Amino acid sequence: MNCDRLYFSSSVASNVTVCNSAAEAAEAAHAIVICTEWDEFKTLDYRELYNRMQKPAFLFDGRLIVDHAELQAIGFQVKAIGINLRERVLSPPFSPSNH
């Protein structure tokens, strides 16, 4: 990422760390959140990232682009939008009448 063009207000800047690699960003992190379908996130070395993270290590897949079974085998606690990973089925649609 080219960080030359990133600007944050002073209140935000004190809470933001810009990293040069996924491995650097994973160091001592609690979770990885995937919010894009970019190909680079499909091919990361998730075992290396897991080894750098605090445990339990969580991965939230907001775009359904990674192999959840493989990540669980590594040790990640995987959460995905729209899928119950135990049953591997889509969640029922939200209905105000049943909540």
Beta carbons of 76 and 54 less than 8 angstroms apart? no
Q: Would the pTM of this model clear 0.85, i.e. be above it?
A: no
Q: What is the pLDDT of residues 41-90, one digit of tens each?
A: 999 999 999 999 999 999 999 999 999 999 999 999 999 877 776 655 44
Of the two residues 11 and 23, the one the predictor is more confident about is 23
- State the pLDDT at residue 92: 44
Per DSSP, the residues of 5-23 read G----HHHHTT----SSHH
Of the two residues 62 and 16, the one the predictor is more confident about is 62
Q: Which domains does the chain have, with CATH numbers?
A: 22-98 (3.40.50.720)
Q: What is the pLDDT of residues 26-45, one digit of tens each?
A: 999 999 999 999 999 999 99
